Amino acid sequence: MPSQFVQDIMGVVTFRNPGEPEFHQAVQEVVESIAPIVVKHPEFIKMRIVERIVEPERQLMFRVPWVDDAGEVQVTRGYRVQFNSAIGPYKGGLRFHPSVYLGIIKFLGFEQVFKNALTTMPIGGGKGGSDFDPKGKSDNEVMRFCQSFMTELYRHVGADVDVPAGDIGVGGREIGYLFGQYKRLTTQFTGVLTGKGIAWGGSLARTEATGYGLIYFVTRMLKSRQVDWDGLRVVVSGSGNVAIYAAQKATDMGANVIAMSDSSGYIYDPDGIKVNTVRVIKEGERGRIREYIDNHPSAEYHDGCQGVWTIPCDVALPCATQNEIDAAAAQTLVRNGCFAVGEGANMPSTNEAISAFRDAGIAFGPAKAANAGGVATSALEMAQNSMRTAWTFEEVDRKLMGIMDDIYDQCIEAAEAYGRPGDLIVGANAASFIKVARAMIDQGLV
């Protein structure tokens, strides 16, 4: 019965959303783990909760024309998928990357619904972005693009409607330009975006939150196996916002971060990567990770980002992008003795990789739980904006730690309740699905 249910749902999803493999993959992962629960709840079946939850409430696609520094007109495409508002206004980041198309935004929006439910904060799920590539663009080009993007988006967002944030390619600079244009168009200074500058409504610790939250979550995973971070060899993929602060917090906790990457290649430093150097290169200079060896000649640089998974480690933290760990990479990690994986990126492991980790019995923290600290802290930014107040770094960090602990406990309890003790994937999917499903039932057929 559960497998027939999965087949039926996937049949509709693939028919209705052709050519969107990432979205199919994200739905399959969730539906497979909740099917045994759904079939035991006739009210979920009767109200067609799963059929409704896989269908976005609204999908927006729009033209974003802008002029580059050479005076040439460029045409890019913008997206905002408002997936589910059962438990609060839509909330989720914007991704600017040439690989963006509707299927990527839908997979991210779908995941966001469940992640946001786990945070215990009142936020629904959404996601957006563009195929615009900020890499190599001047600040003025990025500004002109952001202004054009917001000139359409502003009609669809608002502090109580939909609150976007950053993601790949969208950091403080982009949020600033987007916010400025929103304010100009609406004459309102409201908390319509999170990840804002500290001087104009941003929250302390938001920049660090996803990476720090990931480490707080993995700390609980390790603790359940009576292990702490001291001396553990950690491989972190990516060198963006999530990767940098995960690497920094892991180092603070006593771990030895030996490798990091970007989309061109990876660095290996057996003595421990100096995270501050990476931060200066990537955040300050928008440079490439290979420049690290200019300052640290004992480290190695290798072309090709996939090689990072061949480095023997105890803990792997994929913090770059979707599907960066396939079955072969997962098997290599397991063979080399890796015993814990915490997903900082969204859907970084293919479903085959997850099976390999499960078969090997290693500790696995799925993205929607492990990287939820970013959006949780965005919700704390929204709370501070509504209250017209600002909390200290320590206060926000303490709340973040409490939220990550709570997410971990919810996952463990739900996994136990549904007969899969210790399985954080089942726990995360079950706990969040039930919360959203009940809210949808309470609100009638909408």
Binding site for ligand NDP (CB under 6 A): 166-169, 210, 238-243, 262-264, 305, 319-321, 344-346, 371, 374
d(CA 384, CA 124): 18
Is the Cβ of residue 9 or residue 379 nearer to ligand NDP in the bound state? Answer: 379
Shortest reach from residue 264's CB to ligand NDP, in Å: 6
Alpha helices in 320-392 (DSSP H): 327-335, 351-360, 367-370, 373-387
Under a CB-based contact definition with an 8 Å cutoff, are residues 329 and 308 in contact? no
Helix-helix angle 206-223:373-387, to 10 degrees? 130
| Cα(114)–Cα(431) distance, integer angstroms | 9
In whole angstroms, how close is the CB of 268 to ligand NDP at the nearest point?
Answer: 16
127 carries an active-site annotation: yes
CB of 238 to ligand NDP, least distance (A): 4
Query: Of 243 and 250, which has the nearer Cβ to ligand NDP?
Result: 243
Among candidates 68, 50, 39, which has minimal Cα distance to 11? 50
C-alpha–C-alpha distance, residues 341 and 405, integer Å: 17
Least separation in angstroms between CB 425 and ligand NDP? 17
For residue 231, give the DSSP letter: T
Q: Cα 442 from chain centroid?
A: 28
User: Is 139 exposed, middle or buried, given 0-12, 13-18 or 19+ CB atoms closer than 10 A?
Assistant: exposed
Nearer to ligand NDP, 9 or 244 (CB): 244
Nearer to ligand NDP, 87 or 168 (CB): 168
Q: Closest separation between CB of residue 35 and ligand NDP, Å? A: 26
Gap between the Cα atoms of 245 and 340, Å rounded: 18
- Spatial distance between the Cα atoms of 5 and 31, rounded to a whole number of angstroms: 9
Between 5 and 251, whose beta carbon lies closer to ligand NDP?
251
Strand 315-318 and strand 340-342: pairing? Answer: parallel
Residue closest to ligand NDP, measured at CB = 240
Nearest distance from residue 365's CB to ligand NDP, in Å? Answer: 13
Catalytic residue chosen out of the listed positions 91, 106, 115, 127: 127
Give me the residue label for tokens 């030996």: 258
- Closest separation in Å from C-beta 345 to ligand NDP: 3
Sign of the Cα torsion 313, 219, 370, 355 reads: positive
Q: Report helix, strand or coil for 135.
A: coil
Buried b (16+ CB within 10 A) or exposed e, 41-73: beebeebebbeebbebbeebebebebeeeeeee
Cβ proximity to ligand NDP, 321 vs 350, nearer residue: 321
Which stretches does DSSP call E strand in 270-322? 300-303, 315-318
CB closer to ligand NDP, 87 vs 267:
267
The minimum distance between CB 194 and ligand NDP, in angstroms, equals 9
Q: Name the strand (E) or helix (H) holding 50.
A: helix 49-53
Q: Find the Cα–Cα–Cα–Cα dihedral 19, 21, 23, 28, rounded to 10°.
A: 130
Q: Which amino acid is at 309?
A: W
Q: Which is nearer to ligand NDP, 36 or 373 (CB)?
A: 373
Handedness of CA 66, 69, 71, 73 (dihedral sign): negative
Minimum distance from residue 242 beta carbon to ligand NDP (Å): 4
Residue closer to ligand NDP by CB (options 37, 192) is 192
Query: Which residues are known to be catalytic?
Result: 127
